[in-house]
């Protein structure tokens, strides 16, 4: 049985002209209750095997499944006919609230053959394994493989006269190709137009927040290949930018002046800042600096406001905060030593928090940059710490 999917986006009607500006703000209020409209049960047929016999059974499942973020939502079902049936019901419910479906974005797609794009992600079920179950040789191996499959994997039996197979599919989420193109176009635009009036230090400072922010958004899905490809394209754009800056210089001269070797990687675009400390400004390495981490769903109905679950949320936040740092780095060791807690405010340093490294004994007073002399603090805590030290002296 095929799995079909449809994606919708809400667009205000002419009856509510003010709704266009406040659509995103009021989406959660306006669309609250849509899930109840499409809630419906149905029975599906499925087969199981017991003692070598095939048994046909029926079970009751949700006819539709629903996911929403602001004014974008997705409805899934087992068949295309089910989705064609639900569209008029959704339109009727939206019309009462002065809303209508965006016909350009409303599509019905097969999740296996085509997949769909949602919030900048491409979601598709792809073939992962083919299991041969026709002989005793593969029987035990096939059983183990079926047990080790991901929970979201589905198995589609493929009848064959000679060889009995089972094709296994898993839901793979990757960055949408159009979003990747849009991001690279923005980077090229900066290097081609805005970078002409900037020095190398300002170019790196302008690019780093954009690159890091984009990588952080897509780091929770299957995006390793995309990150490598993005880095390759960015390096090509930087090379063209540097050739425009130094048209008569050879590549070896450009590489020696603007690129640094870090962990056997020779193509790290950098420059030395013009400040007093002569700090190195290095461009974010899309392939290494932002590691891929898998998002973990919150257990059950756990709420961050539940006083009984303080320890759970504390562990969860510190675990995510640890992924800020490269594995095995001294900053990761400092973070683990602190148990992910800021020593000033005693709050967890989370993934999205801005942090700074503090030297317990300042370098000008004989301190060093070893792990024993370092602390990782929130940015505002670090400023408050130095302000207090300055007042004390």
Here the CATH number for the domain that contains residue 350 is 1.10.30
Domain match, 247 and 328 both: no
For residue 298, give both structure tokens.
Answer: 């919150």
Burial (0-12, 13-18, 19+ Cβ within 10 Å), 227 = buried
Range of the domain at 346: 307-392
68: in domain: yes
148: in domain: no
3-class DSSP assignment, residue 122: strand
Backbone angles phi, psi at 18, to 5 degrees: -75, -15
134: in domain: no
169: in domain: no
Domain match, 202 and 248 both: yes
pTM of the model: 0.70
Q: At a CB cut-off of 8 Å and minimum separation 6, what does 169 contact?
A: 112, 125, 126, 127, 128, 153, 154, 155, 156
264: in domain: yes
- With contact defined as beta carbons under 8 Å apart, do 105 and 116 qualify? no
Domain match, 261 and 351 both: no
Domain match, 107 and 200 both: no
294: in domain: no
Question: What CA–CA distance (Å, rounded) separates 178 from 117?
Answer: 10
Total domains present in the chain: 3
139: in domain: no
Q: Which helix (H) or strand (E) holds 138?
A: helix 136-147
Question: In the prediction, which pLDDT does 8 show?
Answer: 42
165-175 and 64-69 as β-strands: parallel, antiparallel, unpaired? unpaired
Residue with tokens 């193509």: 267
158: in domain: no
Q: At a CB cut-off of 8 Å and minimum separation 6, what does 9 contact?
A: 71, 72, 101, 102, 105, 106
Question: In the prediction, which pLDDT does 141 show?
Answer: 61
Question: What CA–CA distance (Å, rounded) separates 6 from 77?
Answer: 9
* Nearest 10 degrees: Cα torsion 179, 183, 189, 195: 170
Which domain-ending residue is among 239, 265, 281? 281
Q: In 71-149, at which residue ranges do the beta strands (DSSP E only) sit?
A: 72-77, 99-101, 107-110, 116-118, 121-132
Which domain-ending residue is among 123, 150, 169? 123
Cα angle, residue 102 at apex, residues 98 and 106 outer, rounded to 5°: 130
Question: What CA–CA distance (Å, rounded) separates 371 from 230?
Answer: 33
What 8-state DSSP symbol labels residue 299? Answer: P
Helix ranges, 262-370 (H) = 310-322, 330-337
Paired residues of 8 in beta bridges: 73
Question: In the prediction, which pLDDT does 145 show?
Answer: 61
3-class DSSP assignment, residue 375: strand
Question: In the prediction, which pLDDT does 206 show?
Answer: 87
Domain match, 213 and 276 both: yes
3-class DSSP assignment, residue 107: strand
Backbone angles phi, psi at 250, to 5 degrees: -80, 165
User: No. of H helices and E strands in the chain?
Assistant: 11, 16
Domain match, 240 and 312 both: no
Domain match, 262 and 371 both: no
pLDDT tens-digit profile, the chain (393 residues): 344 554 443 433 333 334 444 556 677 777 777 777 777 776 666 666 666 666 777 777 777 888 888 778 888 888 888 888 888 888 888 888 888 887 777 888 888 878 888 888 888 888 776 655 555 555 666 666 666 655 555 555 544 434 455 667 788 889 999 999 999 999 999 988 888 888 888 888 888 888 888 888 888 888 889 999 999 999 999 999 999 988 999 988 988 888 888 878 888 888 877 766 667 777 877 777 777 777 777 777 777 777 777 777 777 776 666 666 666 677 788 888 888 788 888 887 776 677 788 888 887 788 787 888 888 888 888 888 877 765 555
Question: In the prediction, which pLDDT does 277 show?
Answer: 65
* Residue 363 exposure: Cα atoms within 13 Å on the Cβ side: 7
Backbone angles phi, psi at 211, to 5 degrees: -65, -45
Which domain-ending residue is among 123, 146, 164? 123
Domain match, 273 and 324 both: no
Question: In the prediction, which pLDDT does 12 show?
Answer: 37
Domain match, 273 and 332 both: no
- With contact defined as beta carbons under 8 Å apart, do 251 and 238 qualify? no
* Nearest 10 degrees: Cα torsion 144, 146, 147, 152: 160
Domain match, 101 and 58 both: yes
Domain match, 267 and 332 both: no
For 218-270, what is the HEC assignment?
HCCCCCHHHHHHHHHHHHHHHHHHHHHHCCCCCHHHHHHHHEEEECCEEEEEE
């Amino acid at each position: 049985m095929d799995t079909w999917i449809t994606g919708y986006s809400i667009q205000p009607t002419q009856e509510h002209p003010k709704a266009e500006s406040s659509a995103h703000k009021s989406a959660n209020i306006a669309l609250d209750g849509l899930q109840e409209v499409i809630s419906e049960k149905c029975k599906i047929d499925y087969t199981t095997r017991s003692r070598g016999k095939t048994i046909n059974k029926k079970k009751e499942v949700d006819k539709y499944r629903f996911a929403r973020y602001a004014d974008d939502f997705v409805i899934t079902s087992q068949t295309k006919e089910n989705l064609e049936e639900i569209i008029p019901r959704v339109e009727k419910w939206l019309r009462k609230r002065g809303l209508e479906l965006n016909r350009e974005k409303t599509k019905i797609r097969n999740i296996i053959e085509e997949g769909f794009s949602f919030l900048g992600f491409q979601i598709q079920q792809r073939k992962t394994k083919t299991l041969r179950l026709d002989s005793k040789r593969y029987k035990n191996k096939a059983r183990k493989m079926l047990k080790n499959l991901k929970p979201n994997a589905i198995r589609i039996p493929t009848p064959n006269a000679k060889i009995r197979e089972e094709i296994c599919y898993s839901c793979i989420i990757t960055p949408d190709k159009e979003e990747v193109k849009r991001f690279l176009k923005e980077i090229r635009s900066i290097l081609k137009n805005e970078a002409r009036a900037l020095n190398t230090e300002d170019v790196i400072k302008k690019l780093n927040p954009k690159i890091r922010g984009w990588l952080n958004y897509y780091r929770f899905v299957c995006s390793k290949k995309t990150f490598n490809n993005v880095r390759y394209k960015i390096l090509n754009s930087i090379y063209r930018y540097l050739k425009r800056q130094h048209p008569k210089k050879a590549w070896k001269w450009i590489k020696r002046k603007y690129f640094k070797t870090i962990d056997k990687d020779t193509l790290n675009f950098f420059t030395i800042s013009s400040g007093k400390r002569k700090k190195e400004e290095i461009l974010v390495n899309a392939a290494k600096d932002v590691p891929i981490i898998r998002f973990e769903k919150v257990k059950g109905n756990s709420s961050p406001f539940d006083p009984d679950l303080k320890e759970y949320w504390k562990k969860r936040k510190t675990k995510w905060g640890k992924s800020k740092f490269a594995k095995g780095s001294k900053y990761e060791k400092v973070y683990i030593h602190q148990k992910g807690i800021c020593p000033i405010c005693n709050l967890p340093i989370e993934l999205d928090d801005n942090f700074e490294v503090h030297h317990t004994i300042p370098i000008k007073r004989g301190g060093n940059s070893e792990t024993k002399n370092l602390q990782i603090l929130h940015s505002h805590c670090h400023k408050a710490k130095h302000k207090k030290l300055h007042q004390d002296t």
